[in-house]
């Protein structure tokens, strides 16, 4: 198997608080890796370091063999790293279609002036991006809300639109920060199906933070458990369920 992401000795501190402590990790290409652990374990901090929102205190991150430790978030996005957020980060007054079109911004090649005046084939470029966005809308089954402001949509649909915007970037590595948080059972089942389809049909590598162990068991290929900023477990979902370290971290035993 091909290792797509390598994390070596990653540490992160805020003042006197250690958020991550010497994390070593290898992420296999095309697989779904779940990051689990109690609140405050360092899960979102790890994703923020991978996406570039946080700069680690020590260690390095390699993506497809390239050291990206000091790259900006937009530079990492251009390399093919996308993400969603625990709290929905959509433009609520804009439509579903417009939000997804914004996800194509890193692929735009026409300059601002040419784009504004539709010179030099800019209209052809927009049509191309529009076609890709329409494919994602069909894939996520959100055709009925494509022209509705996302602020008017039900919470589960907003989470689906946010996934769509991340997919519009065409990431090779997708970071999902609690994609099913706050959803009811039916919405969770739909989101789990879409995540599995993305992995199967597009071959996208995914790292997701998830608290629902039932979801972890159903969709993940590999599980990493954190506690107090340290990695305490790494293995299959079944092994995670039976791990004394994981049980102790969740139950405080």
Render pLDDT for 188-224 as a digit per residue (tens, 0 to 9). Answer: 999 999 999 999 999 999 999 988 888 999 999 999 9
Is the distance from CB of 218 to CB of 241 less than 8 angstroms? no
Whole-number pLDDT of residue 125: 63
- Residue-wise over 162-176: b if at least 16 C-beta within 10 A, else e? bbbbbbbbbbbbbbb
Residues 6+ apart with CB under 8 A from 239: 223, 233
Give 66's Cβ-side CA count (13 Å radius). Answer: 11
| Encoded tokens for 111 | 């300059």
Residue 76 sits in the same domain as residue 177: yes
The string of DSSP letters for 45-73 reads HHHHHHHTSS--SEEEEEETTEE-TT--H
Domain boundary among 170, 185, 200: 170
Place of tokens 């914004």: 102
In a domain, 42, yes or no: yes
In a domain, 85, yes or no: no
- Residues of the domain holding 6: 1-80+171-253
Whole-number pLDDT of residue 244: 93
Whole-number pLDDT of residue 144: 93
CATH number of the domain that residue 61 is part of? 3.40.50.300
The total number of structural domains that make up the chain: 2
In a domain, 59, yes or no: yes
Whole-number pLDDT of residue 252: 61
Whole-number pLDDT of residue 199: 94
SS3 40: coil
With residue 126 as reference, give the H or E element that holds it.
helix 122-139
Residue 156 sits in the same domain as residue 95: yes
Residue 180 sits in the same domain as residue 104: no
Residue 122 pLDDT exceeds 90: no
Residues 6+ apart with CB under 8 A from 177: 44, 47, 83, 84, 85, 86, 208, 209
Q: What is the mean pLDDT of residues 20-49?
A: 96
Residue 210 sits in the same domain as residue 244: yes
Domain boundary among 127, 151, 170: 170
Q: Would you give the end-to-end CA distance of the chain in angstroms?
A: 36
Domain boundary among 114, 149, 170: 170
Residue 228 pLDDT exceeds 70: yes
- Residue-wise over 220-247: b if at least 16 C-beta within 10 A, else e? bebbbbbbebbbbbbeebeebeebeebe
Is the distance from CB of 191 to CB of 14 less than 8 angstroms? no
More confident residue, 237 or 85: 237
Residue 246 sits in the same domain as residue 134: no
- Rounded to 10 deg, the angle between the 155-168 and 185-197 helix axes is 10
């Amino acid at each position: 198997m091909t290792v797509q992401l390598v994390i070596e000795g990653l540490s992160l501190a805020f003042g006197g608080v250690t958020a991550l402590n010497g994390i070593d990790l290898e992420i296999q290409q095309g697989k779904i890796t779940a990051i689990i652990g109690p609140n405050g374990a360092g899960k979102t901090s790890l994703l923020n370091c991978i996406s570039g929102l946080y700069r680690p205190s020590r260690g390095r991150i390699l993506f497809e063999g390239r050291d990206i430790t000091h790259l900006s978030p937009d530079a990492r996005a251009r390399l093919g790293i996308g993400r969603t957020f625990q709290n929905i980060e959509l433009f609520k007054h804009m439509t579903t279609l417009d939000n997804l079109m914004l996800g194509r911004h890193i692929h735009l090649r026409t300059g601002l002036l040419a784009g504004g005046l539709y010179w030099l084939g800019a209209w052809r470029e927009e049509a191309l991006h529009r076609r890709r966005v329409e494919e994602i809308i069909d894939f996520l089954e959100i055709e009925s809300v494509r022209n509705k402001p996302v602020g008017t949509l039900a919470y589960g649909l907003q989470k689906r639109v946010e996934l769509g915007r991340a997919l519009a970037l065409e990431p090779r590595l997708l970071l999902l920060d609690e994609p099913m948080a706050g959803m009811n059972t039916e919405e969770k089942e739909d989101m789990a199906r879409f995540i599995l389809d993305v992995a199967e049909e597009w071959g996208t590598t995914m790292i997701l933070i998830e608290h629902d162990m039932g979801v972890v068991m159903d969709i993940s290929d590999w599980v990493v458990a954190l506690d107090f900023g340290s990695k305490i477990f790494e293995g299959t979902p079944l092994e995670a369920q039976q791990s004394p370290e994981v049980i102790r971290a969740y139950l405080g035993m």
